[in-house]
Structure 1
Amino acid sequence: MKTVERASLPGNDFLIIAHRGASAYAPDHTFPSYELAVAMGADYIEIDLHMTRDRQLVAFHDRSIILEGEEHAIANLTLKELQNFLPGRIFNEQLPVMASKSFESLFVPTLEDIFLHFKDQVNYYIEIKSPTATPGIEKELIHQLESYQLLNRSDRFPKVIIQSYNADSLKKVFELAPSIPLVKLYSQDTTSISKGEIRDLEKYASGVGVNHSLVTIDFVNRLHDKGLAIHPFVVNDADDIQALLNMGADGIFTDKPDIAAKVKRSHLREPTKP
C-alpha cells in the first residue's frame, strides 16, 4: 500500500494566528474580531468549530452556553436556539473598556457565514472541538472546505490548517483530505510527549500546539528534527513573543495580533548575528 505523505507547514516564516480573531479588542469569533485581526496583520484567523444538533458548523469556543439561566451543550442546541446567545453583550460586560454598542447585536456565525464573508481572502486555522459528541463533524468540515474551493491550492501559506486535541479526529481528516496540514494540540507538559507519540505524529501531523510557557529550545529542536512545526498558545506579551521567535517557534496564537506583528517586524529588521 502506498504511503500518503503528510502535508507541510511553512518553515521559513513566523505565523501570526489570531486567537478567536483579535479577541482582546472585540468579541471572539465575530466578524469585527476577525476583520480587525486581518487589518492588524494576522496570517490566520482561528476558528473553534462545533456542530449543532441540526448539524450546522458554528464558530464558538466553549462546549456549552448559558441561556435563560440554564447551561446547554452546543451539540444539544439547534442553530436557531444558539443564535439567541449574544456574544457582544457578554464581551461588553466583561471588558467595558473595549465595549461598543455595535457589538450588542452580534450573533454566533456559522462556518458558512464566515466563508461567504471572507471567501479565499484570508487563511483559516480551524480547531475541531468536541468531535466525540458530534460524529461526522470532520466529513462536514471537509465538504464545506471543498465547496468553497479552499483545498489543494498553491498559495504562499496553506489556505487551511486544522488542529485538535483529539488525535482520532485529526486522523479522520487525514484520511479524507491528506493535503491539509494538521496540528495536534497538547495541554500537558511538553516533556511528557513520548518518542512513540512523536513517531505517531510523523504519520499524519504537520505540527503541534502547546502552551507557550512550556516551550524550550530543546523541545523546538526535537520537533523540528522530526519535521514538525510548533505553534505555541496563547501569547500576548511582546517579550514572550520575542523569546519564542528566538527559540525558533514557527508561529503563535495571540489575542493581540497587532503586538505580534510589531514584534515580528522588529525581529525581521534586526541584523543577523555572526
Structure 2
Amino acid sequence: MFSHRPALSSTLALLGGATLMAPLAAQADALEQQRQDLEGFQVIAHRGASGHAPEHTWPAYDQALAMGADYLELDVHMSADGRLVAIHDTTLDRTTEGQGPVKERSLDELKTLDAGSWFNEAHPEHADDAYAGAEILTLDEVIDRYGQDVRYYIETKSPKDYPELQDALVSKLEAEGLVQSGSVVIQSFSQTSLKEVHDLNPDIPLVQLLWYSPGEDGQTLEEWTGVTPSPADITDADFQAIADYADGVGPNYLYDGQPVIDADFIDQAHANGLLVHVYTINEKDQMRQLLDWGVDGLFTNFPDRLKDVREE
C-alpha cells in the first residue's frame, strides 16, 4: 500500500546539505513508521470515547486515550472569526444549548456554550455531573494538550462553507510538526477537499469517506456524493481514481440495519492499494464480522469494546 505516495527519500536526495539531512531523514522515518502502522489495525475513537462522554470534549478524548485508541477522530468547523473548532454538526442545536450555524458565532460566543449537559440527559447510564459545562474546543487547544504524543484523524466538515479551511488546517498541522511526525490523517466526504489537501501537502495520509444508501428506486445503493457507483458495480478503475489522491476509503457498514459492503468490497479495495476504515461500529458482533473480513481500522464510540473484541 501507499505506493502512489511520494517518498520523502526523493526530497532528501534532491536537497543535500549535512544540516538538512538529519531532520529530513527523521521526518521520512516518522512518516514511514506511520504508514507501516496504518497497515496494521487502527482503533479510531469516533469523536473521542463518545459512547462514554460528551463528544469532542476533554473527557471523551482522555478516556479514548486511556482505552488505547490509536487515533482521536475530530470533526473540524470554523468559527465566524476563522478559528478551527472541534464539533460534528454544522449547527449548535444538538450538542449545546445554542442554536444556529457554528460558522455564525465567534469563538468567544462558542466558548460560552455548554457542550456537555446534553450528554447527561441523552445517556443517563453514562452521565457524570463533571460533564456539565464542558466547552467547545479549538484545534489549537487539542494540539496544545496532546502534541505529537497522540495521532489525530481529522475530518474536514462542510468545506463549501469554509473555502479557507483546508489551507488553515494544513498550515496549522505543519506549524505544529504533526505532518512531519506522522501524527495525522485527514478524511472527508468531499473529494474536492481531499484533493486540495493533497496538493497542499502530499505527505498527509488521506481517507475518502463514503456513504452508501438506497437511491430513488429504494433498492439500488448509491454513494451520496457520487464518488463511486454502488458497491455491487464498483470497479478497479473506481478504486484507482481514489488511490490517485488518497490512501484509503472510509465506508459505512450498515444502512437501516442492513450491510452495504461485504468482504469482496474490502478485498477489492486492498487489491487497489487502499486501506479500509469502516464507521461507526459499536456492537461487538459487528466488530467481529468486520475484523474477520480484514478491515484495517474501525471508527467506534466505544474503544474499550473494540479492544476487548481484539483480545478475545
TM-score normalised according to structure 1 size: 0.89
CA distance in 1, matches of 2:92, 2:246: 31
Q: Are the counterparts in 1 of residues 39 and 275 from structure 2 also a CA contact under 8 Å?
A: no
Contact 2:120–2:128 (CA<8 Å) still a contact in 1?
yes
**Does the 8 A contact of 1:9 with 1:181 survive in 2?**
no
Most deviating of 94-103 and 15-24: 94-103
Contact 1:87 1:107 in 2 (8 A): yes
With over 3 angstroms needed to count, the CA separation of the structure-2 counterparts of 1:78 and 1:197, relative to structure 1, is farther
The residue type equivalent to 2:72 in the other structure is: I
Q: 2:59 aligns with which of 32, 53, 67?
A: 32
Give the drift of 1:195.
Answer: 4.6
Which one has more relative contact order, counting CA pairs under 8 Å at least 6 apart?
Answer: 1
Name the count of aligned residue pairs: 260
CA contact (8 A) 1:9 1:229 kept: no
Q: For residue 302 of structure 2, what is the aligned residue in structure 1?
A: 256
Query: 1:10, CA displacement in angstroms?
Result: 3.9
Which piece of structure 1 moves more, 191-200 or 128-137? 191-200
1:41-82, Cα deviation, whole Å (9 max, x unpaired): 110010000011110000000011139987411122211122
Q: Using the alignment, how far apart are the partners of 1:83 and 1:192 within structure 2?
A: 46
- In structure 2, the partner of 1:204 is 245
Deviations 1:249-269 (A, max 9, x none): 000000000010111122xxx
Instruction: Provide the residue aligned with 2:113 in structure 1.
Output: 85
Structure 1 residue matching 2:282: 3-state secondary structure: coil
Q: CA deviation at 1:97?
A: 1.8
The alignment's TM-score, normalised by the length of structure 2, stands at 0.79
Code of the aligned partner of 2:287: I
Q: Classify the secondary structure of the residue corresponding to 2:154.
A: strand
Distance of 1:25 and 1:222 partners within structure 2: 35
How far apart are residue 85 of structure 1 and its match? 2.3
Matched, 1:133 2:134: no
CA distance in 2: counterparts of 1:4 and 1:13, whole angstroms: 18
Could you tell me which runs of 5 or more consecutive residues in structure 2 were left unpaired when the two chains were aligned.
8-30, 213-220, 222-230, 255-259
| Distance in 1 between residues matched to 2:245 and 2:137, nearest whole Å | 30
CA 1:76–1:197: 2 relative to 1, 3 Å: farther
* CA pair 194-55 structure 1, distance change in 2 beyond 3 A: farther
AA at the equivalent of 2:189:
Y
Equivalent position amino acid for 2:67 in 1 = M
- Whether the 8 Å contact between 1:20 and 1:29 is mirrored in structure 2 is yes
Q: Does 1:161 align with 2:185?
A: yes
CA distance in 2, matches of 1:217, 1:247: 5
Q: How does 1:97-136 map to 2 (within 5 A)?
A: 97-136=125-164
Percent of counterpart pairs with the same letter? 37
Cα deviation for residue 197 of structure 1 reads 3.2
Cα RMSD after superposing both structures: 2.0
The offset of 1:191, in angstroms, is 3.3
What runs of 5+ residues in structure 1 fail to find an aligned partner? 267-274
Alpha carbons 2:5, 2:203 under 8 Å: kept: no
Is the 1:18–1:254 Cα contact (8 Å) retained in structure 2? yes
Q: Which amino acid aligns with 1:253?
A: F
Shift of the 34–5 alpha-carbon distance from structure 1 to 2, 3 Å rule, reads same
Structure number, greater radius of gyration: 2
Alignment of structure 1 residues 171-190 onto 2, 5 Å: 171-188=195-212, 189=221, 190=231
Partner of 2:24: none
List per-residue Cα deviations over 1:140-183 (Å, max 9, x = no partner).
Answer: 11111112111123xxxx41000000000000000011111100
Q: Could you tell me how far 1:100 is from its partner in structure 2?
A: 1.2
| SS of corresponding position for 1:150 | coil
Aligned partners of 1:192, 1:39: CA distance in 2, in Å?
41
Contact 1:49 / 1:57 at 8 angstroms: preserved in 2?
Answer: yes
Matching residue within 56, 70, 83 for 1:43: 70
SS in 1 for 2:278: coil
> Which secondary structure does the structure 1 equivalent of 2:59 belong to?
helix
Amino acid at match of 1:181: P
